Amino acid sequence: MKKSVLVPAAAATLLTLAACGGGGGGGGATLSGSDSTAGAAAEGGSGDADSITVGLIPVAEFFPVYIAEQEGFFEEEGLDVQIEVMSNAASIVPSVLNGQLTFGTTATPPFLVGVDKGIPITAVANSANTASGAENDTAAFLVKKGSDISSVTGLEGRTVAVNALSSLPHVAAASLIKDQGGDPSKVQFVAMPFPDMLGALEQGRVDATIPVEPFMTQALAGGQVEAIAPLYADVYAPGTTHTLMFGSTQFVQDNPEIVEKFQAALARANELVAEDEQVLRDALVEHGGMPQQVADVVKLPVYETEFAVEGMQDMADRMLETGFLTKPVSVSDVLAD
């Protein structure tokens, strides 16, 4: 396997750990083992192996890709995989469509928004799923200690920071507010990098934030903020596919054998992580540069081998109800066999 950085890691990513208190931004960390080649296409494979390139946002949900590589699953399935580390999720879809990337990583809501807009993309493999129970949730609504906001319905008329508009946290938050009798259209959601959220909350520039791991655990450990609600546990059924791998519809249709090999290797990686999550935590340290003491305590999603179609459809239906989609989307129609 070859690794390179496709997009310069100057913007903060989920693995940018705010080591000096979590208030400031900071540059994104280039993953260990990466070289500086930018935009390198996958070169010739080993023997008869099919060469593919995977664009990966370096967050825990997608680290089974690294495990599939390090355990030899890709090689055993007949694939020569180049991992391109991406610090800008917005660049993944264009790179998949123009063939620079074979497959890309994404959360389910942005994927569904793309489908709604007519972008020819198809989901090829399940990545990670929502955990069961609030105590295992990997994201939460945070407010300053002593805030008069005690529930998500109290966010009406307030400013809430999410990592990006129409992102998984934004979509889930809108659904939860609506489910509990509030009006998400009365909440001012603003886009903000995860590393900047704690400082903005402490300084009063926002009224609440919705960080994911590892930022949630870091923020709560500081003692200045508190959680008023988990993000996913009260919205989506346990095991809902919330992140996935996708390719261009044309490539998926033209190359079913490559898709099948990729699916098989990732399924083996997810099975391994499900059996021993320490494998994933160690990968966060080795490939993500995460301090061991952080990797050992962050909450992890669930790693399943197949799409949770029913949960994904519920997510799509909720997105239509809350205005993120303009028309109904049949999830089963945009999943590879």
127, 87, 96: which is closest to 242 by C-alpha? 127
Q: Token pair for residue 228? A: 């008023």
Tell me the per-residue pLDDT of 53-90, one tens digit each, with 9 for 90 and over. 999 998 999 999 999 999 999 999 999 999 999 977 88
> In 3-state terms, what secondary structure has residue 282?
helix
State the DSSP H helix or E strand holding residue 113, giving kind and residue range, or none if neither. helix 108-116
Please compute the mean of the pLDDT values over residues 127-149 and round it to a whole number.
96
26 vs 265: which has the higher pLDDT: 265
Highest mean pLDDT of the ranges 10-14, 46-50, 186-190, 291-295: 186-190
Average pLDDT score, the chain: 87
pLDDT of residue 14: 32
Buried b (16+ CB within 10 A) or exposed e, 29-66: bbbeebeeeeebebeebeeebbbbbbbbbbbbbbbbbb
Please compute the mean of the pLDDT values over residues 86-95 and round it to a whole number.
88
Annotated domain spans of the chain: 2-130+239-334, 134-230
**CATH 3.40.190.10 given to domain 134-230:** yes
- Weakest-pLDDT range from 7-11, 159-163, 226-230: 7-11
Residue 332 pLDDT > 90, yes or no? Answer: yes
8 vs 114: which has the higher pLDDT: 114
Q: Which CATH code fits 2-130+239-334?
A: 3.40.190.10
pLDDT of residue 214: 92
**Quick one: what percent of the chain has pLDDT higher than 70?**
86
Q: Band the pLDDT of 302: cuts 50, 70, 90.
A: very high
Please compute the mean of the pLDDT values over residues 295-319 and round it to a whole number.
97
pLDDT of residue 47: 59
Tell me the per-residue pLDDT of 313-330, one tens digit each, with 9 for 90 and over. 999 999 999 999 999 999
Residue 8 pLDDT > 60, yes or no? Answer: no
Classify burial at 164, counting beta carbons within 10 Å of its beta carbon; exposed 0-12, middle 13-18, buried 19 or more. middle
Amino acid in position 249: T
Look up tokens 């509990």; give the residue: 180
Q: Which runs of E-coded beta strand occur in 90-224? A: 103-107, 121-129, 140-144, 159-162, 188-191, 208-209
Query: Are 2-130+239-334 and 134-230 in the same CATH fold?
Result: yes
Q: What is the largest CA-CA distance in the chain?
A: 64
